[in-house]
Structure 1
Amino acid sequence: MASPVYIQIHNQIKAEIEEGKWAVGAKIPAERELSLHFDVSRMTLRQAIQTLVDEGILERRVGSGTYVSNQKVQEKMSGVTSFTDLMKAAGKVASSKTISYHMTMPSQSEIDQLKLEKDQKVLRMERIRYGSGVPICYEIATIPAELINGLTKEEITSSLYSSLENKAKLFPGKAMQSVSAMAASEKIAEHLEVKRGDALLRVRQLSYLQDGRPFEYVHTQYVGDRFEFVLER
């Protein structure tokens, strides 16, 4: 199965950044120019760029353009807590709305992070997560397909961690997270019931099983005034 066109473009732009075609902080060409260069529609090109923005590789600056992201300080956190458990601890009922759910070929970033072979499929799902009916975050999660064989869509979307533990006998271990600030896009603002430009916390998390295998790569955008991170040192 060939990767979607926007993923192929994502991979090429990412590779060119890594090769030094555009330095950290450099402005990349406009979408119109890039769409002509790759011979694709503006919509397809925009999807590739947005994926790179979600991953923190690129960043949009209102009224200015799109730039290669500056490197940010990363905060390492140990331990993995499911969203369901987080909401339970806060006295809220967790629920989710699945926007997309499909098996596909991984992007180069997903291959790198999840230590995959290029021909290994992944499940990529896009969800809105709620606490007692209030939207808390928007997330895109990628999971190696081989780890969830035997699990139903309902088991995966309702509580992945519990299903892995109880049915697949796979136990989450540590997680690595990077946290940064961003403004809500029009699409995300609509999903999270906030205004375009409102403050969001962007979290990229790579979670590992106790045996050391990476099992979930997630990009999450949290509503700034509905969620906070507390670090213990």
Structure 2
Amino acid sequence: MELPVYIKIHNQIRKDIEAGKWAVGDRIPSERELALDFGVSRMTLRQAIQTLVDEGILERRIGAGTYVANKKVQEKMSGVTSFTDLMLNQGKKPSTKTISYHVADPSLSEIEKLKLPDDAQILRMERIRYADDVPICFEVATIPYSLVKGFSKAEITHSFCHTLETKGHYELGGAQQNVSAMVASEKIAEYLKIKKGDAILRLRQISFLKSKEPFEYVRTQYVGERFEFYLER
């Protein structure tokens, strides 16, 4: 299966950064320039850039362009957080709208985060998560396909963690989580019913089984005024 063009561009820009073509804090060329360099439409180029922004590799600065991101101070949180459980515990009704759902070849970042062999495939899905019908977050989840090929789409999109535990009989372990602040893009603002440029919280999480095997890599954007993280020391 051939990689989508935007993933190929994502991989090349990431390789260029790792090779030192652009250092931390450097402004990368404009979308117009990069689109010409790669011979693609600006829409395709923008999708690649947005993926790198969601991963924390690049950052957008309003009115100034796109830059190689600085490493953020990290706050350690414990455990695998199920959105469904979180909402139910707060007396709210959780629901999900699936935007996309497909099996694909992984990007370099997905291979790295999930420790995948080179010939592995992944399930990548985009979802809007709601509490009492109010949009709380937009997430992009990547899962090793070998782990879920026996599950139905409904079982995975409704509550993936519950499916792993009850049908897959897996024991869930901990997670690595990184939280940072950013502003909503036009697409995310539309999904979450907020204004472009509104504050959002970005969570990047790698979740592990008890066996220490990573089973999910998620990039989630939460509406800043509708969600907060609670850290217990």
- TM-score (normalizing by structure 2): 0.98
- Specify the SS of the correspondent of 1:191: helix
Give 2:200's aligned amino acid: L
Give 1:170's aligned amino acid: Y
Alignment correspondent of 1:86: 86
Alignment correspondent of 1:49: 49
Matches within 5 A, 1:1-233: 1-233=1-233
- Specify the SS of the correspondent of 1:168: coil
Return the offset for 1:169: 1.0
Which deviates more from structure 2 when the two are superposed, residues 164-173 or residues 154-163? 164-173
* Cα distance in 1 for residues equivalent to 2:21 and 2:76: 30
- Specify the SS of the correspondent of 1:77: coil
Give 1:213's aligned amino acid: E
Percent identical pairs in the alignment equals 67
Alpha-carbon RMSD: 0.7
Return the offset for 1:78: 1.8
1:65-124 deviation per Cα after TM superposition (whole angstroms, max 9, x unaligned): 000001101112221120000001111011000000000000000000000122211000
* Cα distance in 1 for residues equivalent to 2:37 and 2:90: 49
Unpaired segments ≥5 residues, structure 2: none
- Specify the SS of the correspondent of 2:125: strand
* Cα distance in 1 for residues equivalent to 2:42 and 2:195: 25
1:126-156 deviation per Cα after TM superposition (whole angstroms, max 9, x unaligned): 0000001110000000000000021000000
1:203-223 deviation per Cα after TM superposition (whole angstroms, max 9, x unaligned): 100000011000000000000
Find runs of 4+ consecutive structure 1 residues off by over 4 angstroms.
none
* Cα distance in 2 for residues equivalent to 1:162 and 1:230: 22
- TM-score (normalizing by structure 1): 0.98
How many residue pairs match? The answer is 233
1:9-46 deviation per Cα after TM superposition (whole angstroms, max 9, x unaligned): 10010011011110001000011111111111111111
* Cα distance in 2 for residues equivalent to 1:29 and 1:113: 27
Give 1:72's aligned amino acid: K
Unpaired segments ≥5 residues, structure 1: none
